[in-house]
Amino acid sequence: MSRKYVAGPDIDLDVEIVKDNKGRRITERRAQAIAGETLAKAGVGRPSLTGPGTHSPEIKARVPAELRDRLAAAARDRGTTTSTLIREALERYLAS
């Protein structure tokens, strides 16, 4: 569990009145539904770049800090991620 959140004692949501950020009451039944939806989404993860149901392989490389910083700045300037920028650069390099 994250250090940011500390689990407190269990409460009976059908006795205690607890509301969500929209002011709706959270009952035991609703809490179970929320937990089920959250757990169903937890296994989803990132979409595969290879294809549905297929794991995308990962490639790692060590680079100097200065190159990492330039990559992060370029990705930020383009409004994309460093992973996307690396994939695009690798595609262009291998296509030439």
Place of tokens 């690798």: 90
Predicted confidence at residue 1, as pLDDT, reads 47
CB neighbour list of residue 34: distance below 8 Å, 6 or more residues apart: 26
What is the rounded distance in angstroms from the CA atom of residue 8 to the CA atom of residue 88? 47
Please report whether residue 58 resides in a domain: no
H/E run at residue 94 = helix 82-95
pTM (predicted TM-score): 0.52
- Which residue range(s) make up the domain with 15? 11-47
Q: How would you write the pLDDT of the chain (96 residues) with one tens digit per residue? A: 456 777 788 899 999 999 999 999 999 999 999 998 888 777 666 778 888 778 888 899 999 999 999 999 999 999 999 999 999 999 999 999
What is the rounded distance in angstroms from the CA atom of residue 91 to the CA atom of residue 84? 11
How far, rounded to the nearest angstrom, does the alpha carbon of residue 5 sit from its chain's CA centroid?
18
DSSP 16: S
Please report whether residue 73 resides in a domain: yes
Please report whether residue 28 resides in a domain: yes
Domain count, the chain: 2
